[in-house]
Amino acid sequence: MITITKKEEVVLDQIKIINFEYSDGIPVDILRDELDFHEYDLIEILKTLDDKGLIAFNDYKVNLSNFENEINTVDSKKDLKDIELDLKEKESYELIKELVDENNLIPKYILEGKLLYGSLRLSNFRMYHIILSLQNKGILKNINKNDGEYYLLVS
């Protein structure tokens, strides 16, 4: 599932409508005139849609990509970030379940290292935000033992 904002949806819908008129790609000027968006905002939205694989944006021309993913629309970029965080939390939780020992403990430095440098490649900020969120939800608990700091997987 691909999640986009309302503005991205408006642009994508317009691209779908006029895509067949321009076989070599829709010029950005045409989209800008049709949508009445500022060029900078339109370019940023087009880059985002390109990154998500919904369109191909090259040389100020736009082509609709062949995609079969379901599209979910949210109101704002904040909502989009919240959804992405929830997905990262789920992925982090699955990773934690794989890493804990028989007592449901994992050393703090191992967990943080795996979140930063493992398959998820989280930033420092996002990693700490996810750990804090999991702690607030009662899934993780910080434990201090004689030999170091650990996280306990509660559920």
Say whether both 9 and 42 belong to one domain. Answer: yes
Token duo for residue 10: 């408006």
- Residues 33 and 12: their CA atoms lie apart, in Å, by 15
**Segment 23-37, tens digit of pLDDT:** 899 999 999 999 988
Predicted local distance difference test score (pLDDT) of residue 84: 66
Say whether both 55 and 117 belong to one domain. Answer: no
Helix (H), strand (E), coil (C) string for 29-57: HHHHHHHCCCHHHHHHHHHHHHHCCCEEE
Q: Which residues of 109-129 are buried (b: 16+ CB within 10 A; e: fewer)?
A: eebbebbeeeebebeeebbee
Q: Does residue 81 surpass a pLDDT of 70?
A: no
Range of the domain at 103: 76-153
- Residues 118 and 147: their CA atoms lie apart, in Å, by 24
Q: Which of 51, 72, 93 is the last residue of a domain?
A: 72
2 pLDDT tier (thresholds 50, 70, 90): confident
DSSP β-bridge partners for residue 142: 151
pTM (predicted TM-score): 0.58
